[in-house]
Amino acid sequence: MNYKIFKNHLKEISCVAELISQRGWAEGNAGNISFNISEFVNKKINLKKYKINEFKQVYEHLRENFILVTTSGIKMRELAIDLPENIIVIYILKDGKSFISLSLKDIFENINSGVCKIKKPTSELPTHLAIHNYINKNKRKEKLVLHTHPTEIIALTQIKKFTNEKNINKLLWKTHPEMKIFLPEGIGFTPYILPGSNKLAIQTIKALKKHKAIIWEKHGCIAIAENIYMAFDIIDIITKSVKIFFLCKSAGFEPEGLKKSDLDELNKIFHQDTQH
């Protein structure tokens, strides 16, 4: 295990948590993060020391995986100040259905701290685990899942016209060229579904088959990436595009947007880059 690399990931998560808080993307205890840290853990856990719990379903492709998740009720600003105290690690057992909750000290310092007995994972855990299960199943390289509540994105989906994937992507691609450069495949969309529900998890997985970012109607945005900085950048670019649209509208005029020829040129450049 390269613990130095892992510690850098933790520093980056703390940094992004602070940025999210400053941007107003995490009102109250909104927003959550998960990170598959299995590659950083090379030890066996003495299960006799811990209470074994069960999920409502089997996560076939997360057997013996370690998933770091933010805890329920914590604020992003608290995560930025003291990450170890505001996360837990879910270790999924061989059956794919049972799990134990660990602290970083339990894993890396061989200490059964007992703190995880009173801490609960984020309420969006079903979606986070479903995503990591999907990533492993399809051997994708993403390891981190970030969910936030960007104000502009939530506002956009209050407009009926922008409650479908086609119209959202058409708007965002035309508004800001960075959208075509960084998200040529566009972003996915799910209609409003009860937060924290298995139904939301199922619909999110469907949308992720073609995308690495999903807008949840009237709820926020979720992105998957190899690390927290990349996930943050994805949501930041989407939010910037939506903000440009609203700034133009609030100034009293309809945004002109990029021409079709401009978008075709960006598509051509991206296609050439992916061939090298």
* C-alpha span between 215 and 203 (Å, rounded): 11
For residues 9-29, give the mean pLDDT: 95
Q: How confident is the model over 109-136, as pLDDT tens digits?
A: 765 555 555 588 999 999 999 999 999 9
Quick one: pLDDT at residue 258? 82
Provide the pLDDT confidence category of residue 266 given band limits of 50, 70 and 90.
confident
Mean pLDDT of the chain: 90
More confident residue, 45 or 76: 76
Quick one: pLDDT at residue 259? 81
Quick one: pLDDT at residue 140? 95
Quick one: pLDDT at residue 270? 62
Q: How confident is the model over 153-177, as pLDDT tens digits?
A: 999 999 999 999 999 999 999 999 8
Quick one: pLDDT at residue 260? 80
* C-alpha span between 49 and 116 (Å, rounded): 12
Q: Return the percentage of the chain with pLDDT > 70, whole number.
A: 93
Quick one: pLDDT at residue 274? 47
For residues 236-248, give the mean pLDDT: 96
More confident residue, 13 or 1: 13
Enter the tokens of residue 128: 């986070």
pLDDT at 143 over 50: yes
CB atoms within 10 A of CB 147: 28
The domain limits of the chain are: 3-274
The whole-model pTM stands at 0.92
Quick one: pLDDT at residue 83? 93
Query: What's the per-residue H, E or C state across the chain?
Result: CCHHHHHHHHHHHHHHHHHHHHHCCCCCCCCEEEEECHHHCCCCCCHHHCCCEECCCCCHHHCCCEEEEEECCCCHHHHHHCCHHHEEEEEECCCCCEEEEECHHHHHCCCCCCHHHCCCECCCHHHHHHHHHHHHHCCCCCCEEEEECCHHHHHHCCCHHHCCHHHHHHHHHHHCHHHHHHCCCCCEEECCCCCCCHHHHHHHHHHHCCCCEEEECCCEEEEEECCHHHHHHHHHHHHHHHHHHHHHHHCCCCCCCCCHHHHHHHHHHHHHHHCC
pLDDT at 107 over 90: no
Give me the CATH code for the 3-274 domain, please: 3.40.225.10
Check 27, 39, 85, 124 and give the catalytic one: 124
Q: How confident is the model over 67-81, as pLDDT tens digits?
A: 999 999 999 999 999
Quick one: pLDDT at residue 43? 74
Q: Is 124 a catalytic residue?
A: yes
Q: How confident is the model over 214-229, as pLDDT tens digits?
A: 999 999 999 999 999 9
